[in-house]
Amino acid sequence: MARINVNPTRMELKKLKARLKTAQRGHKLLKDKTDEMIRRFSALVRETARLRRALDGEVVRVLKQFSLARGTMSKKQIALAFSMPAASLEVDCTTVNVLNIAIPKLRLEEGQGGEIYPYSFAEVTSEADRAVADAGTLLARLLRLAELEKATAMLSGEIERSKRRVNALEYVMIPDIEETIRYISQKLEENERGSLTRLMKVKSMLEERGS
């Protein structure tokens, strides 16, 4: 361990002792925070993985259904029916504070979308209708997944960062300070012993001269 380069004085010793206390306290707090983040993360990542698995299949199913529906219509018809953009849905975006990380929270605005197809029913087959309706409900669940995946990503980044901090404190900063404190107190003791023996020597010399 590397000793911190300071003068071995009582002042420095006092300062270092205060720093050690702060470092130890910070270490404990950070470690608790990391533990809690890990606990939440493991629950979150399981839920996300479950939803991801479910939705992966679901999305493919809807898309396949849509391509099937497309097959029954001509290219021109499709282009005609879907060239008009649908009313794009608005999402209510807020953030929630979880352990000091701003995690996004999404909510599909109610009352819009749903039944607004961008085409008239006469133009399109019922299979396509179904696919579009399914895609609508799927979208809401995809938003939930988006929210969860973002939360996992942010949390994992944060865990990594705070782990690094905990380790830096535990294995570098605290041992360094402890070693420096030891060094300074040894040095101070040595000085004290030095002056004491000097005094004794002087005293004995004086006594010799006096006798």
Partner 1 sequence: MKGKMAIIGDGDGALVFSAAGADAYAAEDGAAAKRLLKELAGRYAVIFVTDVLAAQMEEEIAAYAMQPYPIVLAVPSARGSSGYGAQLLRRQSERALGMDITGTEGER
In the complex, which residues of this chain contact partner 1 (CB under 8 A)?
A: 38, 41-42, 45-46, 48-49, 52-53, 55-57, 59-60, 62-64, 66-67, 70, 78, 82, 85-95, 102-104, 106, 109, 113, 117-119, 131-132, 135-136, 138-139, 142-143, 145-147, 149-150, 152-157, 159-160
4 or 38: CB nearest partner 1: 38
54 or 172: CB nearest partner 1: 54
1 or 93: CB nearest partner 1: 93
**Collapsed DSSP state (helix, strand, coil) of residue 119:** coil
Least distance to partner 1, CB of residue 25, Å: 25
Least distance to partner 1, CB of residue 191, Å: 48
Quote the CA–CA distance of 78 and 94 in Å, as a whole number: 36
Which phi-psi region, left, alpha or beta, contains residue 19 (left: φ > 0; alpha: ψ -120 to 50)? alpha
**Collapsed DSSP state (helix, strand, coil) of residue 126:** helix
Beta-carbon contacts of residue 143 (< 8 Å; ≥ 6 apart): 91, 106, 108
37 or 177: CB nearest partner 1: 37
**Collapsed DSSP state (helix, strand, coil) of residue 123:** coil
